[in-house]
Structure formats: structure tokens, C-alpha cells
């Protein structure tokens, strides 16, 4: 199942910069591993904000929940999640 996920990161202003850098490094490694596995299909930065729009391909809602809860930045995120399905007017079978 495909999911459109908007993620907004809200790190505390008083967070230790070294701790923030370590969390961001773990987040990058985790997300890149998911991309290599084909789970995290697309990621786009929203220009000028600490937000992104991503497309994730998960087995089901429970798998999506597991993936998102594994994000090192999860405790500081706001998310909007929309399950997606193929539109009957689409001229493409896949999302390439």
C-alpha cells in the first residue's frame, strides 16, 4: 500500500546541538536504508521548511506504523498521513 506522509520536525530550540546532530545522522541512515529496501519510495523537501513529503510503500497500516515509530526524529514530528490508491483515470500502471 502506498502512503503520502507529510512530516514536520520540531526540535526544541534548547536541544544540545551535538545530540541533535546525532539524532539527525541516525534518521538519515534509517531513511536511506528504507529507501534502498524500496519501502521509502520518494522524499521531497518542502522548500524553506524543516518538512518533507514522502511516499512510503508498506504492507499494511501496521507496517507503516512500525516504520514511522522507528524514525529517530519521531518524538519531535507532526505527521499527516493519507493512504493512496490508483486513480481509475491514470494512464500509468505504476508510479514510475
Query: Which pTM does this prediction carry?
Result: 0.89
Query: Percentage of residues in the chain with pLDDT exceeding 70?
Result: 97
> Where do the domains of the chain lie?
2-84
Round the average pLDDT of the chain to a whole number and report it.
95
pLDDT band of residue 92 (cuts 50, 70, 90) is confident
Question: How far, in Å, CA of 58 to CA of 22, rounded?
Answer: 27
What is the pLDDT at residue 86?
86
What residues contact residue 70 under an 8 Å CB cut-off, 6+ apart? 30
What per-residue string of b and e applies to 31-57 under the rule 16 or more CB within 10 Å gives b? beebeeeebbeebeeeeeeebbebebb
What is the pLDDT at residue 96?
59
For domain 2-84, give the CATH number. 3.30.70.1060
Name the least confident of 5-9, 13-17, 44-48, 85-89: 85-89
Amino acid at each position: 500500500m502506498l502512503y503520502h506522509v507529510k512530516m514536520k520536525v520540531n526540535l526544541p530550540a534548547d536541544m544540545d546541538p551535538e545530540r541533535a546532530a546525532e539524532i539527525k545522522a541516525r534518521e538519515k541512515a534509517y531513511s536511506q536504508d528504507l529507501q534502498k529496501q524500496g519501502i521509502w519510495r520518494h522524499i521531497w523537501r518542502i522548500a524553506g521548511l524543516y518538512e518533507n513529503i514522502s511516499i512510503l510503500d508498506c504492507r499494511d497500516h501496521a507496517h507503516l506504523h512500525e516504520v514511522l515509530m522507528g524514525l529517530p526524529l519521531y518524538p519531535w514530528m507532526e505527521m499527516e498521513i493519507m493512504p493512496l490508491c490508483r486513480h481509475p483515470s491514470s494512464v500509468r500502471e505504476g508510479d514510475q
